[in-house]
């Protein structure tokens, strides 16, 4: 049996069109420790970011052989534990470079042109032009952390609107930097010199809370932070304080430390950030385009087919 979790995140007709296995079970909810028992016979699961694969969940799925995650990031899966149990894990690299980079730029345009406030004031028939005054991106310095698939595309889009681009990555690609026209700098220099900082790195033990009180303190007054990677890259408490004090001018965020978008916890720090007047927030939706969803399904189904044929899967990560 193959179980496809998190199908609520995709249009129903696309899910039905793309998944053509006779024994496929389509499940809207995420896989978690509480419901894993219901799927104890499954050998293959397909999941999204909201299904957390920890030791307890794996204990309840003794027949599991393949986890196909329809994500690039892997921070929701205990890879070590999967390896110990000979469970193959596949992901989908580079399926949404354009979608995520364009979304990041859309957050920045929304902030720079105050589009969200314009829209609100139009709806309320109460236009206050001085309040809507924005700024041009041309000539501003953007610091891009992570120049992999998405970050690199972001450097090109940023150059396209006339921004000066500086970047930091633990794996530098100087040739690409020269061709695109950006410079690698030390992380501290990037924090100090950037008008806008955009995060495009994976979440792992080295990158958790990469942006904390100390890093926020050395940033320019009223710097703008963009995060479409993972919420845990930024310490939420520290960000909230910096937004409240005005140290951070605006934040454009698609990801949060606690991604509960149900409004069930109005007093949580994440919810305070999502609704902050200096924040443009989207619900982890940067990947959500027709093109990226098609690509996600095509790569995932191909990997499952290869596995079923006894061949090497293409996107094994463990």
Q: What are phi and psi of 77, to 5 degrees?
A: -125, 135
Measured from the CB atom, the residue of 114 and 230 that comes closer to ligand NAD is 230
Q: Which is nearer to ligand NAD, 237 or 259 (CB)?
A: 259
- CA 77 from centroid of its chain's CA atoms: 15
Residue with the two structure tokens 């345009």: 109
Is residue 233 within 8 A of residue 187, CB to CB? The reply is: no
Size of the chain, expressed as the number of residues it contains: 318
103 catalytically annotated = no
Catalytic residue among 114, 153, 200, 284: 284
Give me the least distance between CB of 162 and ligand NAD, in Å please: 23
- From CA 259, how far away is CA 254, in angstroms rounded? 10
Smallest distance from ligand NAD to CB 197, Å: 12
Give catalytic status of residue 230 as yes or no. yes
Query: Which CB sits closer to ligand NAD, 200 or 271?
Result: 200
Residue tagged active-site, from 76, 114, 200, 230: 230
Q: Beta 248-253 vs 223-227: how paired, if at all?
A: parallel
Using CB under 6 A as the criterion, which residues of the chain lie in contact with ligand NAD when the complex forms? Answer: 72-73, 94, 96, 100, 145-151, 168-171, 200-203, 206-207, 228-230, 254-255, 284, 286-287
223-227 β-sheet, strand order: 183-184, 164-168, 141-145, 196-199, 223-227, 248-253, 279-281
Catalytic choice (43, 52, 259, 316): 259
- Is 52 among the catalytic positions? no
Alpha-carbon distance of 275 to 13, in angstroms, equals 32
Distance CA 172, CA 5 (A): 36
Q: Shortest Cβ distance from residue 81 to ligand NAD (Å)?
A: 20
Instruction: Name the residue whose CB lies closest to ligand NAD.
Output: 148
Q: How buried is residue 71: exposed, middle or buried, by Cβ count under 10 Å (0-12/13-18/19+)?
A: buried
Toward ligand NAD, which CB reaches closer, 164 or 230?
A: 230
Closest separation in Å from C-beta 294 to ligand NAD: 15
Residues acting as catalytic residues: 230, 259, 284
């Amino acid at each position: 049996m193959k179980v496809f979790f998190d199908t609520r995140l995709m249009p129903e007709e696309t899910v039905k069109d793309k998944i053509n296995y006779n024994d496929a079970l389509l499940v809207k909810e995420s896989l978690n420790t509480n419901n894993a028992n219901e799927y104890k016979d499954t050998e293959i699961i397909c999941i999204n970011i909201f299904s957390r694969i920890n030791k307890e969940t794996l204990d309840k799925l003794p027949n599991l052989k393949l986890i196909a995650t329809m994500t690039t990031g892997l921070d929701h899966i205990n890879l070590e534990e999967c390896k110990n149990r000979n469970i193959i894990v596949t992901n989908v690299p580079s399926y949404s470079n354009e979608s995520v980079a364009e979304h990041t730029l859309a957050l920045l345009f929304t902030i720079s042109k105050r589009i969200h406030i314009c829209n609100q004031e139009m709806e309320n028939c109460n236009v206050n032009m001085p309040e809507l005054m924005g700024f041009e991106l041309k000539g501003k310095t953007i610091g891009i952390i992570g120049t992999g698939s998405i970050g690199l595309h972001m450097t090109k889009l940023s150059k396209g609107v006339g921004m000066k681009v500086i970047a930091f990555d633990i794996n530098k690609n100087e040739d690409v930097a020269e061709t695109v026209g950006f410079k690698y700098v030390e992380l501290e220099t990037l924090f100090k010199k950037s008008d806008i900082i955009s995060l495009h790195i994976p979440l792992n033990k080295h990158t958790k809370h990469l942006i904390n009180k100390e890093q926020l303190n050395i940033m320019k007054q009223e710097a703008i932070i963009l995060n479409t990677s993972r919420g845990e890259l930024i310490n939420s408490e520290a960000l909230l304080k910096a937004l409240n004090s005005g140290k951070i001018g605006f934040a454009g965020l698609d990801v949060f430390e606690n991604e509960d978008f149900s409004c069930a916890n109005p007093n949580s720090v994440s919810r305070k950030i999502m609704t902050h007047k200096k924040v443009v927030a989207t619900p982890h939706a940067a990947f959500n385009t027709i093109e990226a969803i098609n690509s996600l399904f095509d790569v995932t189904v191909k990997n499952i087919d290869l596995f079923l044929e006894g061949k090497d899967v293409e996107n094994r990560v463990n």
